[in-house]
A and B are shown apart, each in its own frame.
Chain A
Amino acid sequence: MIKLDRVSMVYPGGNRALDDIDFHIKKGEFVFIVGSSGSGKTTLMKLLLKELNPTSGRVVVMNNDLSTVTHKGIPFIRRQIGTVFQDFRLLKDRTVYDNIAFAMRVVEASAKDIKVRVPELLSMVGLANKGNCHPNELSGGEQQRVALARALANRPAMILADEPTGNLDPNNSNEIMRLLEQINGRGTTVLVVTHNREIVNQMHRRVITLNRGIMMSDEMEGGYRDEF
């Protein structure tokens, strides 16, 4: 599903954000990427979405070597990846329903499919009665669930979540993680970037630890490590 082959990323100006990263994530896995701020986690996400190209090494996502994907091909890779961010990234000028429907319109889903799929997603994340609300009428936890519903709208093979609980209290954080586990339970690969120690330690999942761009460990049933 995801393969990084000796990947390094040096930003213009010489900042080495990732140094010789090597790992392989199989279909259906649930993986945490942990590390303190500035360790290169977001840079890694950007490489997977081909928002950035690595300075050296090879990034393979769903059997596509991203270095061979053309500019025109990028949207079609991204359509198979659902993304969730710390700041939710919802459109404030439209309703919850329209935020989710928007993701489907972008990939030119039919009006009929949208009508069926959006309520399905809303009830899946427990917001069946919030479709007509605007994002600013919702709590942070609810907004993140809308973002998750949007990420799932086009049935992606993989979810990338960059600090999805970064702005949430423990209850809401747990709720988001529960939903991500549930999604993973149905076969979707899930990659969660976080520095939330409690969550990582609770869940006993695979943990890849980064520190200053270097991969420190990759443990199958790991916990949060910060002795580096």
Chain B
Amino acid sequence: MSFKAFSYSVNQGLLSIRRNRMFSLASLGTMVACLFMLGVFLMILINFNHIVSSAESTVTISVYFNSDVSAEQIAEIGKNINAREEVESAKYKTADEAWADFSKDYYEDNGDLLASFGEDNPLGQSDSYIVTLKDVKDQKEITKYLQNITGVRYVNSPQSTMDALNRLNRIISISSLTLILILFLVAVFLISNTVVVGISVRREEIAIMRLIGATDHFIRGPFIVEGMVLGLIGAVLPLLLLFGLYELLLHMAVNELATMASWLELMSAGEIFAWLVPICLLLGIGIGLLGSVFTVRKHLQV
């Protein structure tokens, strides 16, 4: 296609969007809603995965012992744990150290509450090993091994929490994606409708163009442009909205969440939008092309 034909298509496509205001707005609105929801969903999903994986890699397995287990036995078990190939390290922690860490984490801002425990250690005889793994995927196996050691009272593994989170993650993903798919189809349908209206408004003009010797590309071009421009605007608008929303969220949430736990940190806007921008643009233009190309093929046959 020559530059002249291209600029003609762009001009006529834009003209058609303006003439066809109501239908253009309806398809734009649906697309903005569709991509906005997709964006919100992706933001949640990406952050969720980020948090789960950083939690998985930082959270360790704690092994607690029965009170009748001797210090020698504990040392022996510790040696065995350290000898396992999957284990990065197993650090011994006395009950007093554990209490000191715990109270520092949870009662730092609440001296009165901490003071109320006095000299009692509520964790009791909780000598423990803090086991760090080389690779999170061995968590299940190691947890099982630790649970089966005689003298071990309790193994605190984040495994079950992670499993629950991952299940939740999957449910949210599937239901949101279903909803988005439906909106996607509605958006394609509405764009197609917009193009059909454009074609019927210009039926006479198209018949004359045919008679004069216009090529198919020349006749179809404006309608394809119409669909693509709607798709593009429909992608850029929700991206702007999403960006504003995310910046606001980061402002409000970062300080709050990060103090609760270091791994509970949201990804930066840059990291998130490195995903969102190409996804939304591709989908937007894709919706526009799907809606217009097939419609034009169907309704503009000679």
Contact = CB atoms under 8 A, between A and B. Distances in A.
Contact of A71 (B2, B8, B209, B302): B302
A78 B216 CA distance: 13
B205 interface: yes
B211 interface: yes
Contact of A83 (B5, B209, B211, B214): B211
Interface of B: 2, 4-5, 8, 204-205, 207-216, 218, 302
B213 A107 contact: yes
Contact of A75 (B2, B5, B204, B213): B213
Which of B2, B208, B210, B212: most chain A Cβ within 10 A?
Answer: B212
Contacts of B8: 105
* A-side interface mostly: helix
Q: Which 6 A-B pairs have the closest CB atoms?
A: A79-B213, A78-B213, A75-B213, A106-B214, A75-B215, A106-B212
A74 B212 contact: no
A108 B5 contact: yes
Interface string A86-127: 000101000000000011011110100000000000000000
Contacts of B212: 78-79, 102-103, 106-107, 150, 154
Contacts of B5: 108
A49 interface: yes
Given A75-B216, A78-B210, A89-B207, 13 more contacts: A49-B211, A72-B215, A75-B213, A78-B212, A78-B213, A79-B213, A89-B204, A91-B208, A106-B212, A106-B213, A106-B214, A107-B212, A154-B212
A228 interface: no
Which of B205, B211, B214, B302: most chain A Cβ within 10 A?
Answer: B211
Contacts of B209: 106
Given A89-B208, A91-B204, A106 B302 contact: no
A108 to B, nearest CB: 5
B302 A74 contact: yes
Contacts of B302: 71, 74
Interface in A141-198: 150, 154
Nearest to A103: B212
A209 B214 CA distance: 32
Interface of A: 49, 71-72, 74-79, 83, 89, 91, 102-103, 105-108, 110, 150, 154
A75 B214 contact: yes
A79 B218 CA distance: 14
Contacts of B218: 106, 108
A182 B211 CA distance: 23
A208 B208 CA distance: 27
5 contacts: A78-B211, A89-B204, A89-B207, A91-B205, A106-B214
A194 to B, nearest CB: 19
A49 B213 CA distance: 10
Nearest to B1: A108
Contacts of A77: 213
A121 B58 CA distance: 82
A108 B213 contact: no
A108 B213 CA distance: 11
A91 B12 CA distance: 15
Contact of B4 (A79, A108, A154): A108
Nearest to B208: A89
